[in-house]
A and B are shown apart, each in its own frame.
Chain A
Amino acid sequence: MPRRVRHASRVDLLQGTLDLIVLQTLQWGPQHGYAISQAINASSHNAFKVETGSLYPALHRLEKQGYVRAEWATTEHKQRARIYHLTAAGRRQLSTEQSRWSQLVEAMASLMKPRRTET
């Protein structure tokens, strides 16, 4: 659904950001939902608390868009879990999102910088 994607990245910044964070987390290897949420909490030094109510829809949205692939597997504690893998399309999407994110950060930084007075 390309229309929805465009809408999401333009208006709902947080949703787009979560997608980026999830893809970023999955680039280090396949993981299940719980591990993804723990990894995000840990690597952001608990600055981001990922709500499961946002995480699972995001994971399934990414799966629907073909950026991740999911399969059931058994963890080391004999717990069946749905493991997410990054696909080739997901990797491409990750790098576009990353460059868009750094553009946004730069733009915000130059906006926030006190303007040099030319007098």
Chain B
Amino acid sequence: MRGLLWRRRRRTEEIAEEIDAHIALATRERIERGMPPDDARAAALREFGNVPLIQQTTREVWSWTATEQLLQDLRLGARVLRQAPGFSVTAIVLIALVVGSNTTIYSIVNGLLVSPASGVTAPRLVAIKHVPQGL
């Protein structure tokens, strides 16, 4: 997770630097054509367009893959849990209790009512039936 964050920050810096380089190169070319440096830089910036927006759309190419989204969700979940420890502990204990008691009750019902009692096998089964006399 930390590695992912680090890579993202690195990517952000790299895109910013790449765009700075573009503007620097465009500025230099204008200066070489005889434009005053200040005008050259302004013109290069104007031609480039909206720098933060372009940085962002370029960054977006790399982000929001399914795994990253999942990690982000997990991170948010962990943060929320850590922010309200009392609530988190209560919720976790309650879920544990409920799951535990549910399993216990199902096991008991299964043992008593659903599966045959132990020791009962086919040869030892006897059917008793009442046949009324005089009919």
Contact = CB atoms under 8 A, between A and B. Distances in A.
B33 to A, nearest CB: 13
Given A57-B61, A60-B62, A61-B61, A52 B21 contact: no
Given A79-B28, A82-B14, A60 B58 contact: yes
Contacts of A35: 25
Contacts of A53: 49-50, 53-54, 57
A51 B60 CA distance: 17
A81 interface: yes
Name B's interface SS.
helix
Contacts of B62: 60, 64
Contact of A57 (B17, B47, B57): B57
* Contact size range, B: 20 to 34
Contacts of B60: 57
Contact of A79 (B25, B48, B50, B53): B25
Contacts of B50: 53
A32 interface: yes
A57 B14 CA distance: 13
A34 B49 contact: no
Interface in A50-68: 51-53, 56-57, 60-61, 64
Nearest to A61: B61
B15 to A, nearest CB: 7
A79 B54 contact: no
A6 interface: no
Given A64-B61, A79-B24, A52 B18 contact: no
Interface of A: 1, 32-35, 51-53, 56-57, 60-61, 64, 75, 77, 79-82
Q: Which 7 pairs between the two chains have the least Cβ-Cβ distance?
A: A34-B25, A60-B61, A56-B58, A81-B21, A82-B18, A34-B22, A53-B54
22 contacts: A1-B65, A32-B22, A33-B18, A34-B21, A34-B22, A34-B25, A34-B26, A51-B49, A52-B22, A57-B57, A57-B58, A57-B60, A57-B61, A60-B15, A60-B61, A60-B62, A61-B61, A79-B21, A79-B25, A79-B28, A81-B22, A82-B17
